[in-house]
Amino acid sequence: MSESPAERCGYVAIVGRPNVGKSTLLNHMLGQKLAITSRKPQTTRHNMLGIKTEGAVQAIYVDTPGLHKQGETALNRYMNRTAAAALKDVDVVVFVVDRARWTDEDQMVLERVRFVSGPLIVAVNKTDRLDDKAELLPHLEWLAQQLPNAEIVPISAQHGRNLDLLERLVAERLPEGEHFFPEDQITDRSSRFLAAELVREKIMRQLGAEVPYQVTVEIEEFKQEGHVLHIHALILVERDGQKKIIIGDKGERLKRIGQEARKDMEVLFDSKVMLNLWVKVKGGWSDDERALHSLGYD
């Protein structure tokens, strides 16, 4: 009679510059949408755990904000601190890079992961967009020279390519030990937090360059009544002009944000959702440490 495999459990930080595909990677590995995504950099603001339990292995992924250079608000400093802190207390680090583009911010993350003492895996993302795979080889060789102790895996987070290999490499490097979470739990974040993030995602996706970075969302009511989940969300902006942009002509944009967020919420919470949105001006919140703390950035 063969012995069942030893239980393994540990924390896995997913790090990289903004907009390289970290949250998309997490969602595909979990098999459901948990982390919000958009084409804009710095969509992710908080560390969030995505917990995947398969048989004897529980991998606890830490989705981090992108480490970035520009921006000196209290919010930017919070995001960089949050991402850097994740490197200290994990069992495995997955460093996500682009297949072709290399920026100063990639270099900044590379300098940090060089000093990681545990196992390091470099996930080279978006390789499905290369017509000629031979173009990838010089980049892989250069990465291998920079990080000689790392395992390097070409992937496509968007299309799920090679993720089974990436997950196997992660599992093999996790320490033996009992699972920290029940096997049906997929995150450490509350439903209120996830609801706020879904509203913020729709704003990020619909608005121009500047406004989304000065927007945050607070859930004021989250209440199940029978078969309906009632959610009241407050969208905070810094200026009156931003409030007008979010509301849109005759309230059309706010209505569209609400419709799209509600659809995702109904899937995530497996319930009919009544979503009410308000927009309020709170000047300077993104550069005020106390305001950030009160809004959950701590």
Task: For residue 187, say whether it is annotated as part of any ligand binding site.
Answer: no
Sequence-separated (6 or more) residues with CB below 8 Å from residue 120: 92, 93, 95, 113, 147, 149, 150, 151
Sites in the chain below the pLDDT cut of 50: none
First to last CA, the chain: 50
pLDDT score at 70: 59
Task: For residue 248, say whether it is annotated as part of any ligand binding site.
Answer: no
Query: Are the C-beta atoms of residues 122 and 140 closer than 8 Å to each other?
Result: no
pTM: 0.80
pLDDT score at 101: 83
Task: For residue 63, say whether it is annotated as part of any ligand binding site.
Answer: yes
HSE toward the beta carbon, residue 260, CA cutoff 13 A: 17
Top-level class of domain 8-172: alpha beta
Task: For residue 19, say whether it is annotated as part of any ligand binding site.
Answer: yes
pLDDT score at 64: 77
Domain 191-295 has CATH 3.30.300.20: yes
Task: For residue 21, say whether it is annotated as part of any ligand binding site.
Answer: yes
Domain boundary assignment for the chain:
8-172, 191-295
> Would 8-172 and 191-295 be classified into the same CATH topology?
no
Task: For residue 128, say whether it is annotated as part of any ligand binding site.
Answer: yes
pLDDT score at 135: 76
Query: Are the C-beta atoms of residues 247 and 202 closer than 8 Å to each other?
Result: no
pLDDT score at 100: 76
Task: For residue 17, say whether it is annotated as part of any ligand binding site.
Answer: yes
Task: For residue 44, say whether it is annotated as part of any ligand binding site.
Answer: no
Task: For residue 191, say whether it is annotated as part of any ligand binding site.
Answer: no
Q: Residue 99: which of 72, 144, 138 has the closest Cα?
A: 138
